[in-house]
Structure formats: C-alpha cells, structure tokens
A and B are shown apart, each in its own frame.
Chain A
Amino acid sequence: MAPKKKEEPKPAAAPKPPEPEPPKEPEFNPAEVQIEFTAEQIEDFKDAFQLFDRTPTNEMKITFAQCGDLIRALGQNPTNAEVLKVLGKPKAEDMQVKMLDFDQFLPMHQHICKAKDRGTFEDFVEGLRVFDKEGNGTVMGAELRHVLATLGEKMKEDEVEQLMAGQEDANGCINYEAFVKHVMAG
C-alpha cells in the first residue's frame, strides 16, 4: 500500500512542469564541478562547517546525514533527493556513519547553489494557493497537514506540528501569505 518512490515521477512526466532538478546525468561527479565561490564565502562556509562538526577533536568532518542540514543552513533549499544525489546515493545505513570533509563538501554545495529551480516567495505562495479551494487566501490547516505528510518527500507528524504551531486561526484556517513569510523568515 505504501507508494514506491518510482511512482511519483510518473504523473509529473505526463504534463510538462519541470521537476525540481531533473537529473540530466545519472551520477554526480564532484570533479566536474567548477567552484565559483569567492574566498570570503568559502571562509564563511568553513566556519559553518566547523559548527556542524561534532567530532570531539574538531577533525573538520561531518556525517552524510548532516550534509543536507548544512547546505540548508547556508541558505539553499534542496529536496532530499537532490541531497542524496550529490552525496552519491548512499545507503540508508551509511548516512549516520560515513563522514565527509570540507573539500568534499564544497563541490556538493556549489552544485546545489547552481540549481535553477530554487523557489521564490511567489513560487511558494503559488504552491500553497493550489490548496486554497475557495480562493480566499486561506488553506485548511488539516488539509495542509495531510498533504505535507502524504505527498512529496513526506514530513513526519511532529515535523508538521512544529511547522504549523500557532499558525491556524479559530476555524483551523491558515492565511498562507503570512505563513510563507513566517517560514521564510526563519
């Protein structure tokens, strides 16, 4: 009953809205990535990298599982699929165990930064408008929770709860422009 991952791209393939980051080549090759960051930016990234480094002796290494978080903390918003791709599609059990250092991280981050479809404020609002059945600027909180937990890269119940905390009004509706501002401000 649980949908397999390969089912999801199929409906998207039929009409033609571009998927976020359709993989042109199957593998990600870090050697082919040209680093276009400035030296200042790289220093900033190093600082942040160190912050995520949880090795007791500061070896400047982070786990695979942290890679996505770090990229996001630095201002990008890739999907989990994109993160797994730049990591070389590791196995689930490797995520907490395998480590990468800063030099391995940099091309991954660069690749994600170059991705075109990053989503702006308007995209986001547009996305939520899809669920605005009455066209009045609000979506039903319950519906949104359901969507976030069942579609796309599903969120867990407590994650949904965190996101929606304090956003619904007495009727269970969310004004989505305010909601978007709330999420983007964080």
Chain B
Amino acid sequence: MVAKMIRPNLQVYGRQIKRKIRKEQKCQQHPHSVPKEYSLHPDPLTRQFFSPDATRARSMRAALLIQRWYRQYVARLEMRRRCSWNIFQSIEYSGEQDHIKLYNFFGCLMDHFTPASSQKKWISHIFHESDAFQEMELERYFSYKNIEVPDVHSGPHLTFPLTISNVTELVDAFKNKQKLHAHYVLRLLEKTLMLLRFLPNINHVSTCKYKEITICGDLHGHLEDLLLIFYKNGFPSAETPYVFNGDFVDRGKESIEILLVLFAFQLLYPHDVHLNRGNHEDHIVNLRYGFTKEVLGKYRVHGKQILRLLQKIFSWLPLVTVIDHKVLILHGGISDKTDLNLIAKLDRQRFVSVFRPMRGEASVRQEEAERDDGRRRVQSLSYGTAVRLRPDLPRHSLHSASRQEVGSVEEELSERRRLAGLGLTSEQGSAKVLQTDAWRQIVDVLWSDPMAQDGCVPNEVRGGGCYWGPDVTQKVLDRHKLQLLIRSHECKQEGYEFCHNRRVLTIFSASNYYDVGSNRGAYIHLGPDHIPHFKPFQASRTTRELTLRQSVGRTERSALQALRMLLFTHKSELMREFHQHDPQHTGLISLRNWAVAMETVLHLGLPWRVLRSQLVSSSHDGMLNYDDWFNQLSIIQPNAKIANTSLLETLYKHHSNLETIFRMIDTDHSGLISFEEFHQTWKLLSSHLQTNISDKAISELAESIDFNKDGSIDINEFMEAFRLVEQSRAERKPSPISAEQTTDKH
C-alpha cells in the first residue's frame, strides 16, 4: 500500500476527527453500538474482521498500555530531577558551612588580637574601622563630582531627582547589556543611602491605599527574572506597590544592575517600593558568592568606592516589612527569641556584616560552651544552647569543629595574649550582652529556616540562625497578633511553598536557580483579604522549548558534573575509606560499601544507591573496582602548571575560602597580594585546618603562580590556576557521561 505523502487537508481532517469523537461518545454511552469505522476495518496483518466489541477492547487495552508506559516514563524523569535537585542543594549548603568555619576562625583571631602584634596588621584593617574614620572615608567617596562622564558615553544619563523616563531608560539600557557610568552609580547610591537612613527597622505598609501588593523573593542577580516580573506585573508605581524580600545579589551575573534598578524605583516611589535586607546583603558573603567580583570586574576604576558605599547601604536596609499589622515579611525566618519590639529599637546600621563579630563575641560563646562540656552540642552563630535533635543525620557539628580549631590557634596566639594582658572590663561585658542580643535577633531574621517538628534548634546547615517549628510560628505570630509569615531564603521547585499549617509561606523569585530548567520562580499578590495569590514563572525562552526530558537531562548533567568535581577534591579521603572496606587490597569494594563510604566522607545526605547508575558505569557481581572508577571519574584535571598534586588537592578543596581571605586582605581591591601576605594567609589557614604544608612548598607554589615574576600574585590568576579544565581528548579514557566544562560556582 502506498503511504500517503501529501499533507492532509487539516480542515477535512478536523471534521473527520470530530465525527469520530461524536461516535466515540455515542459508543461510550451505548457500549454495544460501535462506530462504523471500527466494524469495517480489517486487521492490517491478518486481514481478519474482528467483532466490534473485540476491536473496541483491543483499542482500550492499547490505550491503557500506552498510558501506563507514559506514567512510568514521567515518574522516572521525576526521580532523576529530584536527584539533581538534592545534589545541588547539598553542595550549596555544604559550601555555606565552609564559610561558617572561616568565620569561626576569624572570630578566634579577632578575640586574641592585640594591638602590639604587627603580624595581625591586616586583620586590624578589616575589623577595626572606627565610625569617625568611616565617615571621613565616605566624604571622600562621595566625590562623584570628581568623576567625569565623557560626552561620548553610550550608556544612559540620569538626572536627579530621578524621573520615570530616567528609570525606564535605565531598565532598557540594562536589557541591552549597557552599563551605568560610575558617576551616576555613585550618585544614585548616595541618594539611596540618604533615603534609607530615614526608614525604620520595620516598615509598616497598609493595603487600604492599594488594590494589592506584589511580593517578590530572592533574585540573586537574575535580571532576566526581575524584568519578566515587571513585564507581567508592571513597573513599580503608586498603583503597583512592591516588596522585595532580600538576596538581590550574588550567584547571578547581573547583581549590580538589579540593585540599581530597585534603588532607582525606590527613589522614585519611596512609599510604594519596600526592600528588606537578606543574608546576602553583606559584604563578607559577597566576597565569596560573586558580587564583589562582579562589581570589581564591571567597574575597574571605581569598583572599590562603589563597594564601600554599598556596605553602608546594606546595613541601612530595613529588616522587616509588616502589612496591615497582619502579614509579616522578612528574609530568613524567626526563632523563639524573636521579638519585633526589640527589632524595632535596635541600631541596624551597626551590623554591617553578621560575620564581623563584635569584640568579645567569640569569647562569650566560648564561655557558654565551656560551661556545658559534658554533652555534645552544636552551635550556630546565634544559637548556642540547644541540644541536637537529629543525631542520625550526618551533619557537621560546627561546635566540635571550632573547638578543635580554637585549640590549635589558641596555642599559637596565647603567647601574645599573655604579653598584651588583654581583658574585658565588666562594663564592657554588659554592653556586649546587649549588642549580642541585637545581633542574634538580626541573624535569626536573616538566616533561619522552617522545619516540620516543633521546637527551635540551631541551624547547623547554614551555621547561622535556627530551624524553627510550627509551635514557634504560632507563638511568635500570636504574640504580635499576626496572621501570616512570608519569607524567602530557600529555593523551591514551584517558586513558592506553604508550611506550618499555611501560616508560613516561602517565596523565591530566581527561576532556573541551579541550572536551566531546575525550578520556577514566583511572586505573590496580596490584597486586603491577606490571601496570597501566586504567580509562577520561568525565564529563558530555551526552557520552554526544551522537552521535559531534555531539561531534566541538562540539569542532571550539570548536577553530576558538580558532584564529580566534589568527589575529585575528596579523592584521598575516599581512597582511605575504600581501603578500610577492602583490607585485603583486592581493589574491589561491594556496591553497598561504596555507598556507605561515600556518605561517610562527603556527608551530603544524597541517595547514593539511586545515583549509582549515573556515577558507576561498570560493576561485576555487585563489586566495583575503585581505582578504575577514579580514573574514569577524573575526566577533569587541574591546570598542569602546578606541580605538587597533593598540595593541589588541598588547595583546591579550600579555594573558595582562600579566595575570600585573599579578597579580604586585598583591602584596596587592587587584585594583587604580596608573597608575604600569601605566605601568612596560608600559614594561618593551614594551622586552622590542621594540615601540614612546609614553608618551602608554599614558597615554591607562590613563585610558580607569580606568572609575570613581579613579586606579587594576581588573585584572579591564582584562582585560574585551580580551575579544573577538561582533559584533552587524547588522554581521556572513554566515559559514559559526557563532560561539560563548567565555570566556578560563583
């Protein structure tokens, strides 16, 4: 039979289908009447005529079969998607833990700092800026007047006070990837700071003016998402008020643009645009998660001025917004100690970064810890006294980790301490307590996460704030006569999620947060009835064009690549663990023990058995040859210029923290540090980490990194040295999963 090659006439076809549908419907109403087509069609293979009922039954059975297979297909895709999601989340949170360890380290150093020790000069610079000094600095930095904008400058020109056409021009310029000149940036920021100083810690908003208020969650530098929201919902205006719930910067590549747009709208409509501070509105967090790098990259000459001014601006951002005295909006969450009255009264601008411990903070915590040394306890930045409720989960105990570190650094510095005779007076002590309370309130508000169980325990995953339960929600909301808590801080698949009997709502507005297709973003409309209406979205045309399987596949590949890089950094520990399970050195390990070993070393809480099929390509009789497996896994290798590979592994593992420290040392943001600084940093960090690296190795490393031999190290070059690059095809063994080059996770 000749197959039809011509395109069917769609209209005719449409009619045919309609006829069929009507017959079908008749058929379902009267099971014994059968459409003529079915009864007249012979079976193509056997040329037999089946009875109408038999044909019908076969169609039914066929449909059922296809539907069953389809549902299985979808379920398997869902499983893969969840795996990828889990991988990204655990890597993200374990990265944050590292950062907290760094903070603990600095805290101890700070505590033992003495004016006399010249070696600590660089720390003093960071931690001891007096207010007067800062004001003077700001005077100098407000000299936008000294910055000239050339006439030929192609970016947008702003006039002050801002007009709506200015701001629209600004948004269009950013859409077209243009840059705002530093002169205008500084002016805009200065105006913003002036405005923010007048705002209270808690913004009170009333819906009687408006039909509804739009609330957005984390944006994280995803300008595309912000533009999508404006497109769907309209620009902020007197009729369209907005609340932005923190985390505007870091991770995404257009953080400064988002800030400028939000600030511009706030200047235009100061009563209708409300910004809450998030945990990423903090310059030390920015050092690690990419915002600092972005600004310095885009504004090579004036970047440091801009960053300084932003530090102050972040500290002046309000902490909380309350709508109609009924709906509480803040970035992270609450704890059982949260008290809005306290929050309203504190001096928020004193807390430039929650990572800058105030003098004496670390020692206060240490004393508390020493009091209860019998029990095993966990600590977070603000929560020092709860007992861990989930002993089975393999999370790091920051308390025990920091105890270790305190010990070793203590030895090193106790000598100096004795010499300087440093101590706190009792007066200073009580003032410290007040400051500590205020600091705790802020950290809880910016860093906490909800949990399903009742109670309130330290948030050891984030290392700051707490996990709070439904009873705490009830207590705190009732205490202040509030109905609903809206927060952000956690990425959600659909962009939003309720918990605690629908009294807590998480809203997240950065779609494709982990990778293209990983999640949707959402924003909320809230009217006078205080019932939230959700508007989910997903940016990027490519997402819509991908089929479900393609987008799951992409996210999965990305997640697996990130995981493999992590495995690489833990290679020695993994090998040690494998050897423990293989005392006879057969080179083989059972798949079950492989899963156990992976979790023991990495503490990621991932479903290793489910991931096994993706990570392990071949096993015989349930046994895996782990040497081969590592070789197959190492389809990436570090830059060949660095000779010493075990040192390399250690450095790679800590490279994010190293980068953070370097950027802190490089206080003038020149991008260069001297050999001496490099050496000092490494020595301190390595004693903190209890690794043994000889001076000689460090010097050799430093020299090999100084590529232009001028006695100083370019930070970016240093980081570049550790970027994992794809092995050349000739050397690479065939791998079941294709390799994709990824950039640093910033």
A residues with a Cβ closer than 8 A to B are 1, 3, 7-8, 10-12, 14-15, 17, 19-20, 40, 43-44, 46-48, 50-52, 55-59, 68-73, 75-80, 119, 123-124, 126-136, 138, 142-144, 146-148, 150-155, 159, 162-163, 165-166, 170-172, 183-184, 186
The one of A70, A78, A148 in contact with B63, judged by C-beta atoms closer than 8 angstroms, is: A148
Q: Compute how far the CA of A43 lies from the CA of B612 in the bound complex, rounded to whole angstroms.
A: 13
CB pair B53–A138 under 8 Å, yes or no, is no
Q: Sample 19 A-B pairs with CB under 8 A, ordered by A number.
A: A7-B31, A11-B56, A14-B57, A17-B57, A51-B86, A56-B499, A75-B72, A124-B65, A130-B59, A146-B21, A151-B63, A153-B64, A153-B67, A155-B70, A162-B547, A162-B548, A171-B8, A183-B70, A186-B549
Residue of B55, B63, B77, B549 with highest tally of chain A CB at under 10 A: B63
Q: Compute how far the CA of A58 lies from the CA of B29 in the bound complex, rounded to whole angstroms.
A: 48
CB pair A40–B622 under 8 Å, yes or no, is yes
Q: Compute how far the CA of A69 lies from the CA of B70 in the bound complex, rounded to whole angstroms.
A: 11
B66 within 8 A of A: yes
From 36 to 72 in chain B, residues with beta carbon under 8 angstroms from any chain A beta carbon are 41, 44-45, 51, 53-72
Residues of B within 8 A of A75 (CB): 72
Q: Within the complex, what minimum Cβ distance (angstroms) separates B371 from chain A? A: 29
CB pair A127–B66 under 8 Å, yes or no, is yes
B478 within 8 A of A: no
The 8 A-B pairs with the shortest beta carbon distances in the complex, nearest first, are A135-B44, A127-B62, A72-B75, A152-B63, A47-B609, A151-B63, A73-B79, A77-B72
B667 within 8 A of A: no
Which of B334-342, B448-456, B726-734 binds A?
B448-456
CB pair A159–B63 under 8 Å, yes or no, is no
If the complex has contacts A130-B58, A146-B21, are A119 and B28 also in contact, measured as CB distance less than 8 A?
no
Interface size class of B (residues with CB under 8 A): 35 or more
Q: Compute how far the CA of A137 lies from the CA of B378 in the bound complex, rounded to whole angstroms.
A: 65
Q: Within the complex, what minimum Cβ distance (angstroms) separates A69 from chain B? A: 4
CB pair B592–A43 under 8 Å, yes or no, is yes
Residues of A within 8 A of B450 (CB): 56
CB pair B73–A183 under 8 Å, yes or no, is yes
Closest residue of A by beta carbon distance from B25: A1
CB pair B67–A155 under 8 Å, yes or no, is yes
CB pair B51–A15 under 8 Å, yes or no, is yes
Q: Within the complex, what minimum Cβ distance (angstroms) separates A15 from chain B? A: 4
Q: Is the interface of B mostly helix, strand, loop or mixed?
A: helix
B607 within 8 A of A: yes
Residues of A within 8 A of B41 (CB): 133
Q: Within the complex, what minimum Cβ distance (angstroms) separates B546 from chain A? A: 9
B420 within 8 A of A: no
Residue of B8, B62, B77 with highest tally of chain A CB at under 10 A: B62
Residue of B70, B73, B76 with highest tally of chain A CB at under 10 A: B70
Q: Compute how far the CA of A122 lies from the CA of B611 in the bound complex, rounded to whole angstroms.
A: 30
Q: Within the complex, what minimum Cβ distance (angstroms) separates A40 from chain B? A: 7
Contact mask for chain B residues 3-17; partner A; CB cutoff 8 A; 1 contact, 0 none: 111111000010001
CB pair A70–B75 under 8 Å, yes or no, is yes
Residues of A within 8 A of B58 (CB): 17, 130
CB pair A77–B25 under 8 Å, yes or no, is no
Contact mask for chain B residues 510-526; partner A; CB cutoff 8 A; 1 contact, 0 none: 00000000000000000
Closest residue of A by beta carbon distance from B393: A58
B98 within 8 A of A: no
CB pair B76–A72 under 8 Å, yes or no, is yes
Q: Compute how far the CA of A108 lies from the CA of B77 in the bound complex, rounded to whole angstroms.
A: 22
The one of A72, A134, A150 in contact with B71, judged by C-beta atoms closer than 8 angstroms, is: A72
Known: A127-B66, A159-B70, A171-B7. 4 other contacts (CB 8 A): A40-B591, A47-B595, A126-B62, A152-B64
The one of A40, A127, A133 in contact with B65, judged by C-beta atoms closer than 8 angstroms, is: A127
CB pair A134–B44 under 8 Å, yes or no, is yes
Q: Compute how far the CA of A155 lies from the CA of B63 in the bound complex, rounded to whole angstroms.
A: 10
Residues of A within 8 A of B53 (CB): 11, 14-15
CB pair B451–A56 under 8 Å, yes or no, is yes
Q: Compute how far the CA of A48 lies from the CA of B13 in the bound complex, rounded to whole angstroms.
A: 45
Q: Compute how far the CA of A128 lies from the CA of B44 in the bound complex, rounded to whole angstroms.
A: 12
Q: Within the complex, what minimum Cβ distance (angstroms) separates A130 from chain B? A: 5
Residues of A within 8 A of B659 (CB): none
Q: Within the complex, what minimum Cβ distance (angstroms) separates B608 from chain A? A: 7
Residues of B within 8 A of A50 (CB): 607
B82 within 8 A of A: yes
B658 within 8 A of A: no
Closest residue of B by beta carbon distance from A14: B53
CB pair B68–A78 under 8 Å, yes or no, is yes
B649 within 8 A of A: no
Residues of A within 8 A of B77 (CB): 186
Q: Compute how far the CA of A47 lies from the CA of B596 in the bound complex, rounded to whole angstroms.
A: 12
Closest residue of A by beta carbon distance from B20: A146
B164 within 8 A of A: no
If the complex has contacts A128-B66, A150-B24, A183-B69, are A8 and B60 also in contact, measured as CB distance less than 8 A?
yes
CB pair B607–A48 under 8 Å, yes or no, is yes
Q: Within the complex, what minimum Cβ distance (angstroms) separates B58 from chain A? A: 5
B74 within 8 A of A: yes
Q: Compute how far the CA of A70 lies from the CA of B72 in the bound complex, rounded to whole angstroms.
A: 9
CB pair B75–A69 under 8 Å, yes or no, is yes
Residues of B within 8 A of A52 (CB): 79, 82
Q: Within the complex, what minimum Cβ distance (angstroms) separates A143 from chain B? A: 8
The one of B60, B70, B73, B452 in contact with A11, judged by C-beta atoms closer than 8 angstroms, is: B60
Residues of A within 8 A of B44 (CB): 129, 132-135
If the complex has contacts A11-B53, A136-B3, are A51 and B76 also in contact, measured as CB distance less than 8 A?
no
Q: Compute how far the CA of A131 lies from the CA of B61 in the bound complex, rounded to whole angstroms.
A: 12
Closest residue of B by beta carbon distance from A18: B61
Q: Compute how far the CA of A143 lies from the CA of B66 in the bound complex, rounded to whole angstroms.
A: 13
CB pair A51–B610 under 8 Å, yes or no, is yes
CB pair A119–B69 under 8 Å, yes or no, is yes
CB pair B83–A51 under 8 Å, yes or no, is yes
From 293 to 315 in chain B, residues with beta carbon under 8 angstroms from any chain A beta carbon are none
CB pair B66–A124 under 8 Å, yes or no, is yes
From 668 to 687 in chain B, residues with beta carbon under 8 angstroms from any chain A beta carbon are none
Q: Within the complex, what minimum Cβ distance (angstroms) separates A51 from chain B? A: 5
Q: Within the complex, what minimum Cβ distance (angstroms) separates B318 from chain A? A: 29
Q: Compute how far the CA of A159 lies from the CA of B75 in the bound complex, rounded to whole angstroms.
A: 12
Q: Within the complex, what minimum Cβ distance (angstroms) separates A155 from chain B? A: 6
B720 within 8 A of A: no
Q: Within the complex, what minimum Cβ distance (angstroms) separates B572 from chain A? A: 26
Residues of B within 8 A of A3 (CB): 28-29
Residues of A within 8 A of B208 (CB): none
Q: Compute how far the CA of A22 lies from the CA of B79 in the bound complex, rounded to whole angstroms.
A: 29
Contact mask for chain B residues 114-145; partner A; CB cutoff 8 A; 1 contact, 0 none: 00000000000000000000000000000000
CB pair A73–B62 under 8 Å, yes or no, is no
Q: Within the complex, what minimum Cβ distance (angstroms) separates A72 from chain B? A: 3
CB pair A135–B549 under 8 Å, yes or no, is no
If the complex has contacts A17-B57, A132-B44, A166-B547, are A7 and B28 also in contact, measured as CB distance less than 8 A?
yes
The one of B17, B60, B79, B499 in contact with A152, judged by C-beta atoms closer than 8 angstroms, is: B60
The one of B69, B452, B549, B592 in contact with A184, judged by C-beta atoms closer than 8 angstroms, is: B69
CB pair B31–A128 under 8 Å, yes or no, is no
B239 within 8 A of A: no
CB pair A142–B13 under 8 Å, yes or no, is yes
CB pair A69–B78 under 8 Å, yes or no, is yes
The one of A127, A134, A184 in contact with B3, judged by C-beta atoms closer than 8 angstroms, is: A134
CB pair B453–A57 under 8 Å, yes or no, is yes
CB pair B63–A147 under 8 Å, yes or no, is yes
Residues of A within 8 A of B541 (CB): none
CB pair B549–A15 under 8 Å, yes or no, is no
Q: Within the complex, what minimum Cβ distance (angstroms) separates A132 from chain B? A: 6
Residues of B within 8 A of A1 (CB): 25, 29
B424 within 8 A of A: no
Closest residue of B by beta carbon distance from A82: B68
Residues of A within 8 A of B56 (CB): 11
Q: Compute how far the CA of A1 lies from the CA of B51 in the bound complex, rounded to whole angstroms.
A: 25
Residues of B within 8 A of A150 (CB): 21, 24
Q: Compute how far the CA of A77 lies from the CA of B86 in the bound complex, rounded to whole angstroms.
A: 25
The one of B29, B64, B76, B592 in contact with A40, judged by C-beta atoms closer than 8 angstroms, is: B592
Closest residue of B by beta carbon distance from A70: B75
